[in-house]
Structure 1
Amino acid sequence: MQPESSPVHQWRVPVILPVAKLVGAVVLVGLGLLFAGNDRVQPVLAGLAAAALTGWGLRDLVAPVRLAVDPDGITVIHGFAGRRRLPWPVVEAITVDRRTRRGLTSETLEIDAGESLHLFGRYDLDAPPAEVAEVLRAARSAAG
């Protein structure tokens, strides 16, 4: 069995993001309890929203690396915190989708692996998707 190649480059969620999500969950619970009065629905809704935000923040803590590249291919996050290996022959296209809406432009990195499409935004990568796409294309070219 061959040892797995070490990543040439990794992209991860910025550290502040999970912290902000967890703090936001605590604030939601606090506000739900503070403004509840006799209403039982408000704290329940705040608790549900806080639970969703906590789960989202925990995912960022458990699996902060969203994308990694090495000479043999790409490793992407899959599911809640799993990993999926995409060898270079499986990767059909690496593109950046740019959309402008209400004066704001957003970019999404798209990795097309035939049967699956993997999407990454700016906050998944902590880098501009166009720059990440360039690095991935260069690594793919260097691999042959």
Structure 2
Amino acid sequence: MSPALPATKLAAALGLLALGLLLAAGDPVQWVLALAAAVGLVGWAARDLLAPVRLAVDADGITVVRGYAGRRHLPWDVVEAITVDRRTRFGLSGETLEIDAGETLHLLGRADLGAPPTEVAESLLAARP
């Protein structure tokens, strides 16, 4: 994951706080909303810093991020399918890597992977015994 993404989120949080100070001088509701949005952005950036590796593969299986910064190992015999979902919205197309592990479905986008999901899916399928 690019370090620019968490830095951008932190800068946006600071910008929201500054905007809140400028525009919400007499209105505590606007200040609380700006503060809540800034805290959300800081939390999102912290997730990127605490768990930068979202997916790892080895001979035993796949390790995916679980929750905020936890990890879950999926043995190869649990992984039912590895596919890439392609969708077009508002004229923009996006890809999502889907790892189907029976009762759980793990979805990872390009920002999570640091590479196109199609390439990652090909690498995962090649690594699968």
TM-score (norm 2): 0.97
Query: For residue 66 of structure 1, what is the aligned residue in structure 2?
Result: 54
Aligned equivalents of 1:82 and 1:101: distance in 2? Answer: 31
Aligned equivalents of 1:59 and 1:114: distance in 2? Answer: 26
Amino acid paired to 1:136 = L
Give the C-alpha shift of residue 23 in structure 1. Answer: 1.0
Query: For residue 69 of structure 2, what is the aligned residue in structure 1?
Result: 81
Identity of matched residues, %:
67
Query: For residue 43 of structure 1, what is the aligned residue in structure 2?
Result: 31
Establish whether residue 26 from structure 1 lines up as the match of residue 26 from structure 2: no
Q: Secondary structure at the match of 2:77?
A: helix
Aligned equivalents of 2:2 and 2:102: distance in 1? Answer: 29
Aligned equivalents of 2:37 and 2:91: distance in 1? Answer: 29
Amino acid paired to 1:96 = V
Establish whether residue 100 from structure 1 lines up as the match of residue 88 from structure 2: yes
**Comparing both chains, which one has the higher relative contact order based on Cα–Cα distances under 8 Å and sequence gaps of 6 or more?**
1
Aligned equivalents of 2:90 and 2:32: distance in 1? Answer: 34
Give the C-alpha shift of residue 101 in structure 1. Answer: 1.5
Query: For residue 52 of structure 1, what is the aligned residue in structure 2?
Result: 40
Q: Secondary structure at the match of 1:119?
A: strand
Aligned equivalents of 1:15 and 1:87: distance in 2? Answer: 30
Structure 1 stretches of 4+ with a deviation exceeding 3 A read none
Two-structure CA RMSD over aligned residues (Å): 0.8
Give the C-alpha shift of residue 48 in structure 1. Answer: 0.2
Give the C-alpha shift of residue 42 in structure 1. Answer: 1.1
Q: Secondary structure at the match of 2:118?
A: helix
* Number of residue equivalences: 129
TM-score (norm 1): 0.87
Encode CA deviations 1:80-137: one digit per residue, 9 max, x unaligned: 1000000100000000000012211000000000010000011111110000000000
